[in-house]
Structure 1
């Protein structure tokens, strides 16, 4: 497959540091990996967590022999194993650097295996989207791992009576993560199958919580616009809509 990509990150309107990290790499046997991580800003060393996650995931991708993985279950097992190996690196790091023990990060990544298969792995609430050209819509591949999506209606009613709920806004309460990648975090690994060809967009929540979807679709569909400018416009839209977080985007055109 052939790929055109752009990866951009912005500190945003209010943050003092950028705790996002992202990358796109290809290997010698035709596979490619795009990955975006969002270090958890409310926790110590979110920037360390996201960088450790991306760099170690990429390193393991480069070492992998995908020709020996004959079916989809093999690939999914490799993805789960890789996430857990990254977690082991983070645990070892935190044992030496005690102040990073509470670090955590989201992770969303797409693995392009061949012309027929792609796999998305997700932890947390960074997102992987794919552009649907025929319908001119944006399909969200991943599901945010937060209270909104992992709580039953009965549990939601009970939660509204808790002190924690009273101290937070309704929006921020339901966005509380139920899974993240880190030494002391609860980890749940979601994996999705997808067709590889097309336009992909991976983002941190500093973008997708604040952008207008119609604007994003129109931007991605614009064949006259350079990819870097597309990414810049999407970031600018989120900032104009008062994004409160770091903003990172990886756009991949795969064919």
Structure 2
């Protein structure tokens, strides 16, 4: 597998409250994007703590006979409680939280856990599929038929999150599992990208561009369209060579 990942604070924000990592381990890798929220840099604390804790759990795990789906669900739940306890321990962190979209990829399978409105897409030359559902106000309105996906892009309350990691104890992530089948690339990203670049455009760029150029191409596109939010992404290619950016 090959991969790239990138994070940019955008053109408006003074602080990047997103965090991202990709960690290869034996015949698998873990990719994580977290988009923090909360005042006084608390969002920055929440997203970084999430990445650090999940990275530690991944590094310390015994891959022998590991059920990766159960491991990912349990690990996200454990990290949620760590962030929640941190938020309760200091008044300046109260109310902080973060989205999370985390993927464990092997040569054959993709397992995804998520909370919030950061997204995961599977992409091939011919097609694309969003495999996460936004835990957001506009996401609920789209699912109930009250709002079109096009109108959701422009809705004034599109940043209202209904579920975020670290905001309450014992939160369960949504889980998705698939083999690569007809897809060859996985994108996980924060809404700083998807609020500025349509699904169709993501498909066109990611299916056609060289992996090495993809991160900067997508960041530049979001920034050219205003860059009001932090922009973060990781892309995993199912080919067998591992590299990073």
The interval holding the TM-score normalised by the smaller chain is 0.7 to 0.9
Counting matched residue pairs gives 231
1:85 aligns with 2:67: no
Alignment pair present for 1:116 and 2:113: no
- More displaced 10-residue stretch of structure 1: 234-243 or 121-130: 234-243
Structure whose CA Rg is larger: 1
Question: Normalising to structure 1: TM-score of the pair?
Answer: 0.80
Q: Are residue 245 (structure 1) and residue 238 (structure 2) matched?
A: no
Instruction: Show the counterpart of 1:145.
Output: 135
Provide the aligned C-alpha RMSD in A. 2.7
The structure carrying a bigger helix percent of its residues is 1
| Alpha carbons 2:29, 2:104 under 8 Å: kept | yes
Distance, in Å, in 2 between the alignment partners of 1:171 and 1:90 is: 29
Unaligned runs of 5+ in 2: 148-152, 240-245
**How far, CA to CA, are the matches of 1:108 and 1:249 in structure 2?**
10
Q: 1:170 to 1:36 in 2, by over 3 A?
A: closer
1 CA distance for matches of 2:40 and 2:176?
Answer: 28
Gaps of 5+ in 1: 158-168
CA displacement 1:177-229 (0-9 Å, x = unmatched): 11100144894410001224611111110001111444433322335x4x342
Paired residue for 2:242? none
Structure 1 stretches of 4+ with a deviation exceeding 6 A read none
Q: Deviations over 1:100-130 (max 9, x none)?
A: 1211000001112x43222011110001112
1:154-188 CA-partner distances (Å, limit 9, x unpaired): 9x69xxxxxxxxxxx97132542111001448944
Q: Whole-Å Cα distance in 2 between the matches of residues 252 and 43 of structure 1?
A: 33
Asked whether the equivalents of residues 212 and 237 of structure 1 are also in contact (C-alpha less than 8 Å), the reply is no
Q: Is the 8 A contact 1:25 1:32 kept in 2?
A: yes
